[in-house]
């Protein structure tokens, strides 16, 4: 069954789900587009603030109805208070005959010009390390930059940036972001107990992410970098639903296995019509500090070939280097500790290509 016919089947099933003020979810103005990926079926229901409780049973019934069309995909139905521009008042069906259904659009975030997600298929390939160093490299090129840690399961940005303490609030509502090495940064990490494992169910993760993103006083930023967890799960899909992304940067190691998963991640973003700025090959090679000899520990060049085959830009190679790891552990990323070094230069190269892409797309 094609993605379009699965989406149509879901819409048909939603005709049997009533909404509080009459009509059905299929005709409800706040129903988003139905997103079909190889592993998930996702959509959002926008409600007026305060209506979440009344729509709880609608969400449950919609999930149940959608599961019958999912063909093994994970079903993610989120309730959101963010209404798309031009949507009819939530809480009731669209105008006469319900013909005016308008989808919830991903919304920009006030004060932020460009939002870029850093993603990978596989875990541990260096997304967070690359996220902070690319953010710092963009900052060194004169941009105002922030970083949001969207890895709710294993937040590592605070550790990488040496952030300590709980976040402060303004007016008891907005988080004041942390400031580290000139970057504005926000993460769920400082709000959790040390070593606390958090089990986020789909809707909870989605609403935690929304709060971190929209209830943080970012001020004016040229770029917000979002460090994602690995894979193509709830958080990635929820982010794409909630926010207008300028694009994504995919991190991979040169290994075949990492590249297979990187391709899946790229495929997901392309299906969601989000530009993939390109692939970065991390841990690309090891240069022995004593002899200067180069070792291609995980192979070499695989990410460049994959990018070429997919018709996507190759954004550069980051060498495997002890200082990248040790500086990260010390809370001072290599782009700050050794701004003139070869590792910093590699991140600067990626940042230059990303900045050029933002200028071209503007
Ligand atoms: N180029 C590099 N050279 C040396 N060590 C690196 C490099 N890139 C990342 N590392 C190290 O690899 C480990 C994993 O990196 P990181 O946490 O950035 O990966 P990740 O993809 O964000 O992981 P996760 O999927 O768990 O979020 C860290 O210890 C980090 O310091
Ligand atoms: Mg990470």
Instruction: Identify the residue whose C-alpha is closest to ligand 1 atom 16.
Output: 126
Domain stops at, among 38, 69, 98: 98
Question: What per-residue confidence (pLDDT) applies to 95?
Answer: 29
Quote the ligand 1 centre to 7 CA distance (angstroms). 37
CATH number, domain containing residue 240: 3.40.50.300
CB 289 within 8 A of CB 299: no
CA distances, 46 to each of 87, 179, 215, 360 (Å): 9, 33, 18, 33
Same domain, 168 and 233: yes
Instruction: Single out the residue in 38, 66, 98 at which a domain terminates.
Output: 98
Is the CB–ligand 1 distance for residue 150 below 6 Å? no
Whether residue 182 sits in one domain with residue 89: no
Q: Tell me the residue range of the domain where 122 lies.
A: 112-361
The CATH number covering residue 70 comes to: 3.30.300.130
Same domain, 160 and 201: yes
- Quickly list DSSP for 92-122: SB-SGGGTT--PPPPBP-TTEEEEEEEE-SS
From the CA of 126, the nearest ligand is: 1
With respect to residue 212, please indicate whether it lies within any of the assigned structural domains.
yes
Partners of residue 282 on adjacent β-strands: 318
Cα separation, 8 vs 31, whole angstroms: 14
- Residue 247 falls within a domain, yes or no? yes
Pocket lining: 276 vs ligand 1, CB cutoff 6 Å: no
Q: Are residues 131 and 94 in the same domain?
A: no
346 part of a folded domain: yes
CA distance 287 to 294: 4
Residue 145 lies in a domain: yes
Q: Per the structure, how many domains does the chain have? A: 2
User: Given its phi and psi angles, is residue 165 left (phi above 0), alpha (psi -120 to 50 degrees) or beta?
Assistant: left
The residue whose CA has the least distance to atom 1 of ligand 1 is 320
Q: Residue 173's Cα: distance from chain center in Å? A: 23
Say if residue 182 is in the same domain as residue 93.
Answer: no
* Whether residue 133 has its Cβ less than 6 Å from ligand 1: no
Statement to judge: residues 59 and 120 lie in one domain: no
State whether 53 and 137 are in the same domain.
no
Q: Could you tell me if 262 and 291 lie in one domain?
A: yes
**Would you say residue 104 lies in a domain?**
no
CB count in 10 Å sphere of residue 211: 13
151 CB within 6 A, ligand 1: yes
Instruction: Tell me how far the alpha carbon of residue 223 lies from the centroid of ligand 1, in angstroms.
Output: 22
Give the Cα-Cα-Cα angle 37, 272, 75 (nearest 5 degrees): 35
Shared-domain flag, residues 214 and 317 = yes
Q: Which ligand is nearest to the CA of 253?
A: 1
Task: Please provide residue 76's backbone torsions phi and psi, each rounded to the nearest 5 degrees.
Answer: -125, 110
Tell whether 27 and 63 lie within a shared domain.
yes
Residues 181 and 250 in one domain: yes
Is the distance from the beta carbon of residue 252 to the nearest atom of ligand 1 less than 6 Å? Answer: no
Give the model confidence (pLDDT) of 5-60 as tens digits: 999 999 999 999 999 888 999 999 888 878 777 667 778 887 776 777 888 899 99
Report, as ranges of residue numbers, the positions in the chain whose pLDDT lies below 70. Answer: 38-39, 49, 81-105, 172, 193-203
326 lines ligand 1 (CB under 6 A): no
Q: Is residue 238 part of a domain?
A: yes
In a domain, 105, yes or no: no
Query: How many whole angstroms from 200 Cα to the centroid of ligand 1?
Result: 23
What is the Cα–Cα distance from 17 to 24, expressed in whole angstroms? Answer: 5
Q: Which residues contact 292 (CB under 8 A, 6 or more apart)?
A: none
* Ligand 1 near 262 CB (within 6 A): no
Q: Which residues surround ligand 2, an ion (CB under 5 A)?
A: 127-128, 156
Q: Mutual orientation of helices 256-271 and 234-242 as an angle, nearest 10°?
A: 30
- Determine if ligand 1 sits within 6 Å of the CB of residue 230: yes
Per the DSSP assignment, residues forming a β-bridge with 227 are 118, 149
Domain limit, last residue, from 98, 124, 144: 98
Pairing, β 112-119 against β 74-80: unpaired
Is residue 262 within 8 Å of residue 303, measured between CB atoms?
yes
Closest protein CA for atom 6 of ligand 1: 325
Q: Taking the CA atoms of the chain, what radius of gyration do you get in angstroms?
A: 21
CA distance 266 to 268: 5
Q: Are residues 177 and 67 in the same domain?
A: no
In-domain check, residue 298: yes
- 84 phi and psi, to 5 degrees? -70, 155
Residue-level pLDDT at 203: 66
Spatial distance between the Cα atoms of 100 and 102, rounded to a whole number of angstroms? 6
Per-residue model confidence (pLDDT) at position 54: 87
């Amino acid at each position: 069954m094609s993605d379009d016919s699965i989406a149509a089947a879901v819409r048909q099933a939603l005709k049997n789900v009533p909404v509080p003020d009459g009509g059905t979810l299929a005709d409800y103005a706040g129903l988003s587009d139905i997103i079909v990926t190889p592993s998930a079926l996702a959509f959002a229901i926008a409600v007026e603030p305060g209506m979440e409780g009344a729509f709880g049973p609608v969400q449950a019934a919609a999930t149940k109805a959608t599961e019958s069309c999912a063909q093994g995909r994970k079903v993610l139905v989120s309730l959101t208070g963010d209404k798309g521009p031009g949507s009819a008042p939530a809480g009731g069906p669209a105008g006469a005959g319900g013909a005016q259904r308008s989808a919830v659009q991903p919304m920009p975030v006030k004060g932020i010009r460009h939002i870029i997600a850093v993603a990978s298929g596989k875990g541990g390939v260096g997304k967070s390390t690359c996220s902070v160093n690319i953010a710092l490299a963009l900052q060194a090129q004169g941009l105002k930059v922030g970083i949001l840690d969207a890895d709710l399961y294993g937040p590592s940005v605070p550790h990488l940036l040496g952030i300590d303490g709980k976040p402060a609030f303004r007016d008891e509502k907005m988080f004041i972001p942390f400031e580290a090495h000139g970057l504005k940064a926000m993460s769920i990490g400082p709000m959790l107990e040390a070593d606390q494992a958090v089990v986020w169910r789909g809707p909870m993760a989605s609403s935690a992410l929304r709060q971190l993103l929209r209830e943080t006083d970012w001020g004016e930023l040229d770029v917000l970098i979002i460090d994602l967890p690995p894979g193509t799960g709830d958080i990635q899909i929820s982010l794409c639903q909630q926010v207008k992304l300028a694009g994504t940067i995919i991190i991979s190691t040169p290994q075949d296995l990492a590249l297979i998963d990187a391709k899946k991640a790229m495929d997901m973003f392309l299906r969601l019509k989000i530009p993939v700025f390109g692939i970065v090959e991390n841990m690309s090679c090891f240069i022995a500090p004593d002899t200067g000899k180069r070792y291609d520990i995980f192979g070499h060049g695989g990410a460049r070939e994959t990018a070429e085959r997919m018709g996507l830009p190759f954004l550069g190679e980051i060498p495997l280097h002890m200082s990248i790891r040790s500086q990260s552990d010390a809370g001072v990323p290599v782009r700050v500790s050794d701004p003139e070094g070869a590792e910093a230069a590699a991140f600067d190269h990626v940042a230059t290509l990303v900045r050029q892409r933002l200028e071209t797309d503007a």
